[in-house]
Amino acid sequence: MKRLASKSLQALAALSLSLAFSAGALAQTVVKLTTTVGDIRVELDAEKAPKTVANFIAYVKAGHYNGLIFHRVIENFMIQTGGYTTKLEGRPTKAPIPLESANGLNNVRGSIAMARSSNPDSATSQFFINTVDNPGLDAENARDGKGYAVFGRVIEGMEVVDQIRAVPVAAKSDAFQHLPLTPILITKAIVESKK
């Protein structure tokens, strides 16, 4: 009887450990973007956008975003970063990732999504934060039927996003039509875990 009770307790302990591990594995990842005007924390949704989140985290861990500017700021649309230094020089990127736009996440205010070219599978390191609801960027509403892949949302720092969206911008060249007159940088991006 004692042996049976002992085995039951061991099985229960193993089950508890397994459930605790599973719950920990489901915890969302948070990335903190420290900018020259304040911090922005984004919670990533690896369940709905696994390849996009893995790609973004790899760039964060490699230090790719440190020292890059917000190079495209359109007040009632979005703020974009992840590609250029203050000298408007691009950084090398990894191979593009497949588009994960049909994942149930929408381009609403505060969501974070991947930038891409006209080729749906062209996203590398550049991303944007929606400053307003942009349903036209969702796959089901997009002109190309593909849309833009949302992979998380701002959980702290929307006041910083709003500060960035309101800065004066000008056209520097064809490639930089909405460039802030005073550079706003990501000084550091780090991965945090949400408990």
Q: What is the pLDDT of residue 193?
A: 77
pLDDT at 63 over 70: yes
Q: What is the pLDDT of residue 2?
A: 46
Instruction: Work out the pLDDT band at 194, boundaries 50, 70, 90.
Output: low
CB 98 within 8 A of CB 121: yes
Q: What is the pLDDT of residue 1?
A: 47
Q: Which residue has the higher pLDDT, 2 or 46?
A: 46
Using CA atoms of 70, 75, 77, 79 in order, give the dihedral in degrees to the nearest 10: 10
Q: Please, where are the H alpha helices in 32-87?
A: 50-61
Instruction: Work out the pLDDT band at 9, boundaries 50, 70, 90.
Output: very low
Query: Which whole number is the average pLDDT over 57-66?
Result: 98
Q: What is the pLDDT of residue 16?
A: 41
Would you call 42 helix, strand, or coil by DSSP? strand
**Cβ-Cβ contacts under 8 Å for 54 (sequence gap 6 or more):** 46
Q: Which residue has the higher pLDDT, 69 or 195?
A: 69
- State the burial class of residue 48 (Cβ atoms within 10 Å of its Cβ: 0-12, 13-18, 19+): middle
Instruction: Work out the pLDDT band at 133, boundaries 50, 70, 90.
Output: very high
Q: Which residue has the higher pLDDT, 195 or 133?
A: 133
Q: Residue 33: phi, psi to the nearest 5?
A: -105, 110
